[in-house]
Chain A
Amino acid sequence: MNHEIVIGLEIHSELRTRSKVFCGCANEYGAEPNTRTCPVCLGMPGTLPVLNRQAVDFAVKAGLAMNCTISGFSKMDRKNYFYPDMCKAYQISQFDLPFCRDGYVDIEVDGQTKRIGIERIHLEEDAGKLNHDPYAQGSLVDYNRCGVPLIEIVSRPDMRSPEEARLFMEAVKEILEYTGVSDCKMQEGSLRADVNLSLRPFGQEKLGTRTEMKNLNSLRAVQRAAVTEAERQEALITAGKTITQETRRWDDNKGESFSMRSKEEAMDYRYFPEPDLVPVVMDEGWLARIRESIPELPQARRAKYVQEMGIPAYDAGLLTGTIQIADLFEQAAMTCGNPKSASNWIMGEILRQMKEQEGDSLDPGIDGIRLGSIIGLVERGEITQASGKKLLEAVMGTDADPVVLVERMNLRIQRDEGAVIDAVVLVMKNNPQAIADFQAGKGKAVGFLMGQAMGLLKGKADPGQVKSVLEAKLKEFDGGAS
Chain B
Amino acid sequence: MNADRNTIHHVANLAAIHLNEDEEKNFSRDLDAIVGYMAQLMAMDTGEVQPMEHVLSIRNALREDTAVNADNREALLSVAPKTEEGCYLVPNVVE
A–B touching in complex (CB under 8 Å): yes
Task: Give chain B nearest CB distance to A466 CB in angstroms.
Answer: 59
CA of A424 to CA of B25 in the docked complex: distance in angstroms? 109
A237 at the interface (CB under 8 A from B): no
Complex Cα gap A10–B79 (Å): 37
- Complex Cα distance A55/B56, Å? 24
Does A303 sit within 8 A of B, measured CB to CB? no
Please report the C-alpha to C-alpha distance between residue A82 and residue B65 in the assembled complex, in whole angstroms: 29
Selected from B64, B79, B88, B95, the residue in CB contact (under 8 A) with A141 is: B88
Give Cα A273 to B54, complex, Å. Answer: 9
Residues of B near A307 (CB, < 8 A) are none
Contact between A25 and B53, CB atoms less than 8 A apart:
no
Contact with B along A25-67 (1 / 0, CB 8 A): 1110000111111110010100000111111100000000000
Q: Which B residue's beta carbon lies closest to that of A15?
A: B65
Quote the shortest CB–CB distance from A247 to chain B (angstroms): 11
Q: Which residues of B in the span 45-89 have a Cβ within 8 Å of any Cβ on A?
A: 53-54, 56, 58-73, 76-77, 79, 84-89
Most chain A Cβ neighbours within 10 Å, of B54, B56, B65, B67: B65
Determine whether A386 belongs to the interface, using a CB cutoff of 8 Å to chain B: no
| Complex contact B91–A138 (CB within 8 A) | yes
Is B43 engaged at the interface, CB distance under 8 Å to the other chain? no
* CB-defined contacts of B58 to chain A, threshold 8 Å: 278
Are the C-beta atoms of B92 and A35 separated by less than 8 Å?
no
Q: From the candidates A33, A50, A249, name the one contacting B86 in the complex (CB within 8 A).
A: A33
Q: CA–CA, A137 to B84, complex, Å?
A: 10
B86: chain A residues at CB < 8 Å are 32-35, 142
Contacts A33-B85, A132-B93, A139-B92 known; A281 to B60 CB distance under 8 Å? yes
Asked if B76 and A84 sit within 8 Å, CB to CB, the answer is no
- Please tell me if B14 contacts chain A, counting CB pairs below 8 Å: yes
Tell me the minimal C-beta distance from A141 to chain B in angstroms: 4
Binds B, one of A16-24, A204-212, A355-363, A373-381: A16-24
- Which of B59, B62, B86, B92 has the largest count of A CB atoms less than 10 A from its CB? B62
B93 pairs with A52, CB closer than 8 A: no
Check A270 for interface membership: any CB of B closer than 8 A.
Answer: yes
The answer to whether B62 and A249 have CB atoms under 8 Å apart is no
A19 pairs with B87, CB closer than 8 A:
no
Asked whether B89 lies within 8 Å of A275 as measured between CB atoms, the reply is no
Whether the Cβ atoms of B62 and A52 lie closer than 8 Å is yes
Shortest Cβ distance from A456 into chain B, in angstroms?
59
Q: How many residues of A contact B (CB 8 A)?
A: 50
Interface size class of B (residues with CB under 8 A): 35 or more
Chain B residues, CB < 8 A from A56: 62
Give the residue name and chain of the B residue nearest to A26 (CB). B67
Check B60–A260 contact: CB distance below 8 A: no
In the assembled complex, the CB of B3 is this many whole angstroms from the nearest CB of chain A, namely 16
Whether B14 and A137, one on each chain, are in contact in the complex, defined by CB atoms closer than 8 angstroms, is: no
Residue contact B65 to A136, C-beta cutoff 8 Å:
no
Which chain B positions have C-beta within 8 A of A277?
61
Which residues from chain A contact B72 at a C-beta distance below 8 Å?
A: 37-38
A26 touches B69 (CB 8 A): yes
Are the CB atoms of B63 and A50 closer together than 8 Å? Answer: yes
Residue among A34, A82, A84, A130 having the largest count of chain B Cβ atoms under 10 Å: A34
B90 part of interface (Cβ distance < 8 Å): yes
Bound-state CA distance A340–B81 (Å) is 65
A279 within 8 A of B: yes
Whether B41 is near chain A, meaning CB under 8 Å from some CB there, is no
Chain B CB within 10 Å — which of A27, A44, A136, A141 has the most? A141
A54 to B63, CA, bound (A): 9
**Contact for B14 among A84, A141, A268, CB less than 8 A:** A268
A280→B93 CA distance, assembly (Å): 37
From residue B8, how far is it (CB to closest CB) to chain A in Å? 15
The yes or no answer to B16 lying at the interface (CB within 8 A) is: yes
A51-B63, A136-B84 known; A19 vs B68 contact (CB < 8 Å) = yes
B91 cross-chain contacts in A, Cβ below 8 A: 138-139
Does A53 contact B71, Cβ atoms closer than 8 Å? no
Whether B59 contacts A280 by the Cβ 8 Å rule is yes
Out of B60, B61, B68, B73, name the residue touching A34 (CB < 8 Å): B73
Pair A35/B71 contact, Cβ less than 8 Å: yes
CB distance from B13 to the nearest CB of A (A): 10
| A39 close to B60 (CB less than 8 A) | no
Is the CB–CB distance between A131 and B87 below 8 Å?
yes
Q: Is A345 positioned at the interface, with any CB of B under 8 Å from its CB? A: no
Contact with B along A257-285 (1 / 0, CB 8 A): 00010000000101001010111110000
Chain B hits for A329, CB < 8 A: none
CA distance A27 to B93 in the complex (A): 26
15 further interface pairs, Cβ-Cβ under 8 Å (given A24-B63, A50-B61, A140-B87): A19-B65, A19-B66, A25-B67, A34-B77, A38-B70, A38-B72, A38-B76, A50-B63, A51-B63, A53-B64, A139-B91, A139-B92, A140-B84, A275-B54, A279-B60
Binding site for B on A (CB under 8 A): 17-19, 24-27, 32-39, 42, 44, 50-56, 75, 82, 84, 89, 130-132, 136-143, 249, 260, 268, 270, 273, 275, 277-281
A-B contact pairs, 12 of them (CB 8 A): A33-B87, A37-B73, A37-B76, A54-B65, A82-B16, A131-B87, A138-B89, A139-B91, A140-B87, A141-B88, A142-B87, A278-B61
What are the nearest 3 A-B pairs in CB distance?
A54-B65, A140-B87, A24-B68
